[in-house]
């Protein structure tokens, strides 16, 4: 059994029909536990006060926003190399979800930054590259809509995805590269100095799992939608040609 067998749309639809309810249920469960635990049952931070609770939405959203772009990059490369249509559709389907996660990261970061840093926004390397990543998401989605031929659209958006990956990398590692700016380092780290306290990381990990699973569930659902629409267009075209 090879993973490439799922590049067959019919097989992908059959497999994901069974998988999707489980992933969705697990995502809902993890989100519920992680967010309720984080919001209601964790203490305030001695420096940040109750704003530390924003960690449980900001960190998972921002992490998944960058991861979503990497998933799109892998799917785009598969399209460019092996020409599997399901792969191109999966990349396309992930973009709106990644864009929303990036927006959540930007908004919750600004809301947290105002009382903690004294400003809604700073042209810090990490924040700036994250904002550019958001603009790349918008550009990627617009490019898909702008090109009529789906294969050409998949080719050009794949190239755009590769270019945007620079900013996805920067938004994750800018703190390490430049060691300047307002944004702190990773919340989850092997470095004990940097790693958040145990009382915060347990609900954070569950919340991150919830965001990750929700992303997977939405991408599967949206890819299934895209496959159905592609098939509907093909059937309509066949109908017109036959008439």
Partner 1 sequence: MMPDLGKYAATVLAAYGATLVLLAGVVVLSVVQSRRAKARLAEIEGRKGTADV
Q: What residues line the site for partner 1 (CB under 8 A)?
A: 9-10, 13, 35, 39-40, 44, 49-51, 53-54, 57-58, 61, 96-97, 100, 103-104, 107-108, 111-112, 114-115, 214, 218, 221-222, 224-225, 227-229, 231-232, 235-236, 239
Phi, psi (5° rounding) for residue 121?
Answer: -150, 145
Contact assessment for residue 159 and residue 152, using Cβ atoms and an 8 Å cutoff = no
CA distance 145 to 10: 25
Give min distance, CB of 183 to partner 1, in A. 16
- Choose between 204 and 227: whose C-beta lies nearer to partner 1: 227
Q: CA torsion 125→209→157→174, rounded to 10°?
A: 10
Helix (H) / strand (E) element for 139: namely helix 125-146
Q: Which tokens hold the place of 189?
A: 């780290």
- Choose between 24 and 156: whose C-beta lies nearer to partner 1: 24
Nearest to 223 by CA among 5, 3, 13, 83: 13
Give min distance, CB of 227 to partner 1, in A. 7
- Choose between 9 and 125: whose C-beta lies nearer to partner 1: 9
Give min distance, CB of 10 to partner 1, in A. 6
Give min distance, CB of 137 to partner 1, in A. 12
Give min distance, CB of 127 to partner 1, in A. 16
- Choose between 8 and 153: whose C-beta lies nearer to partner 1: 8
- Choose between 113 and 125: whose C-beta lies nearer to partner 1: 113
CB neighbours of 57 closer than 8 A, spacing ≥ 6? 35, 104, 108, 207
């Amino acid at each position: 059994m090879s993973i490439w067998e799922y590049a067959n749309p019919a097989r992908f639809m059959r497999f994901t029909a069974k998988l999707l309810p489980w992933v969705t249920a697990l995502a809902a469960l993890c989100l519920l536990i992680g967010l309720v635990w984080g919001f209601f049952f964790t203490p305030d931070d001695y420096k940040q006060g109750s704003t530390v609770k924003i960690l449980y939405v900001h960190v998972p959203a921002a992490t998944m926003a960058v991861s979503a772009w990497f998933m799109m990059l892998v799917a785009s490369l598969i399209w460019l190399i092996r020409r599997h249509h399901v792969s191109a559709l999966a990349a396309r389907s992930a973009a709106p979800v990644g864009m929303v996660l990036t927006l959540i990261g930007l908004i919750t970061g600004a809301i947290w930054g105002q009382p903690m840093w004294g400003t809604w926004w700073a042209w810090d390397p990490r924040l700036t590259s994250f904002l550019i990543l958001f603009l790349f998401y918008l550009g990627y989605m617009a490019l898909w809509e702008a090109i009529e031929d789906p294969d050409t659209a998949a080719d050009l958006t794949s190239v755009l995805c590769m270019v945007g990956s620079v900013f996805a990398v920067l938004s994750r590692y800018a703190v390490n590269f430049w060691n300047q700016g307002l944004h702190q380092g990773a919340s989850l780290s092997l470095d004990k100095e940097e790693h958040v306290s145990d009382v915060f990381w347990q609900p954070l990990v569950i919340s991150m799992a919830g965001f990750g699973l929700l992303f997977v569930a939405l991408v599967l659902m949206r890819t299934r939608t895209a496959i159905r629409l592609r098939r509907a267009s093909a059937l309509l075209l066949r109908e017109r040609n036959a008439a």
